[in-house]
Structure 1
Amino acid sequence: MRFFAFLLTASLSLSVVPVSAQEDVRPPPSKPSQSRQAPRPITLDSLFERLAKAGSEREADGIASLIERRLSRSGSDTADLLFSRAAKAVEDKDYPLSVELLDRVLALEPQWAEAWYRRATVFYLLDDPVEALADLHKAVTLEPRHFGAWTALGHLFMSSDEKSQALVAYRKVLQINPQTSAVQTIVSHLAPEIDGQDL
């Protein structure tokens, strides 16, 4: 929840010295700088680095939540508004409206990976795995660390019995977020079956 870095600013008092007195006024001896360095902004890259190094699933979940919030902002107020309306349409189970709204979002922000991922989810709910697959591929092309899209790809491949491709997708999730226990379980069951096929 708390991922904004707040910067503290101190007010500086400026003393005005009359021009006639400036020659006699010397600046006080310089002291070591007491000002604190502003904290470095938390970037998406740094969050993904922290996610890969998380020591527990609980810690990873917190970091993943911050990443998802970042990914869910496009930088365009209009696109973000349409995106939120699309999410509301999904809540109301009005999937065609959600797709229509997300189409508009993607017309405005075609490089927004999260919008492709969300539309893929709606296509899946509409029982259209072909369109869902296309959108998921677009999402991971734009943001290769999108663990949600990789997880969805794994599930989609599993549902169509393409287990080897599912395993690739699930392993990708674990490269990004090694603490995902549900995916760890899937991989532990799936890997012996797939990796042993060539033996």
Structure 2
Amino acid sequence: MASMRQRFKLIVTSAAIAVGISVPAYAQETLDEMFEKLATAAPDEARRIEERIADQWSRSGSAAIDLLFQRGRDALDADDPEAAVEHFTAVIDFAPDFAEAYHGRATAYFLTDEIGPAIDDLREVLALNPRQFAAMRGLGIILEDIGRPEQALEVYEKVLAIHPHMEMVPEAVHRVQQELEGIPL
């Protein structure tokens, strides 16, 4: 599934760019308020809300941890997932409750074909942040990739309950439903 991997890389890159954009005007808006708006927003507005949520998630509360986290993201952007694993692992060592470090490391593991560790880190992300829709989408992609369409569909449907316009997820739901119904893709 090389095309799935390429799409995942594109998503990771676009998310990293989007998260890097800060929108100070929304600093007072809470995550709960943003999630309420996300559930009913039009597609364009949903993307802007997604970016604000991701921006908040990417802040650990420590400048040093944020710098290390950024180095991991930079390594992913430079197509160096092995270095990214090292940076995200360092973040996790110092801030084990920072969910986005596990998400970054899961992405890096996935890109190095270490599927088991990627799944473990995605589970940790979701234990720390149950509404982390990008981690859910990543888990769905992996489950689909390893031949577990029923579980992938369940995860994708959870994503859509939180973020109805999440990139690639409606198409993934349709594709998996067709697969499960025996309709040729």
What is the aligned-residue RMSD (CA, Å)? 1.8
Paired amino acid for 2:84:
S
Structure 1 residues 162 and 79 mapped into 2: Cα distance closer, same or farther (>3 Å)?
same
Q: TM-score, normalized by length of structure 2?
A: 0.81
Map 1:80-95 to 2 at 5 A: 80-95=66-81
| Equivalent residue number for residue 33 of structure 2 | 46
| Equivalent residue number for residue 151 of structure 2 | 165
Give the unaligned 5+ runs of structure 1: 7-40
TM-superposed CA distance for 1:192, in Å, is: 5.1
Identity over aligned residues, as a percent? 37
| Equivalent residue number for residue 25 of structure 1 | none
Q: Which of 140, 152, 169 matches 2:138?
A: 152
Structure 1 residues 100 and 189 mapped into 2: Cα distance closer, same or farther (>3 Å)?
closer
Q: If you compute each CA radius of gyration, which structure gives the higher value, 1 or 2?
A: 1
After TM superposition, which residue ranges in structure 1, 4 or more long, deviate above 6 angstroms?
none
TM-superposed CA distance for 1:118, in Å, is: 0.6
| Equivalent residue number for residue 184 of structure 1 | 170
Which has the larger helix fraction?
A: 2
TM-superposed CA distance for 1:129, in Å, is: 0.5
TM-superposed CA distance for 1:93, in Å, is: 2.6
Question: What SS is found at the alignment partner of 2:70?
Answer: helix
Q: TM-score, normalized by length of structure 1?
A: 0.75
Q: Which of 44, 51, 55 matches 1:69?
A: 55
Distance 2:60 2:89 in 1: 14
Paired amino acid for 1:50:
K
Map 1:1-199 to 2 at 5 A: 1-5=22-26, 41-54=28-41, 56-180=42-166, 182-191=168-177, 193-194=179-180
Paired amino acid for 1:52:
A
Distance 1:57 1:5 in 2: 19
TM-superposed CA distance for 1:188, in Å, is: 2.4
8 Å CA contact 1:3, 1:42 repeated in 2? no
Paired amino acid for 2:164:
P
TM-superposed CA distance for 1:183, in Å, is: 1.2
Give the unaligned 5+ runs of structure 2: 1-21
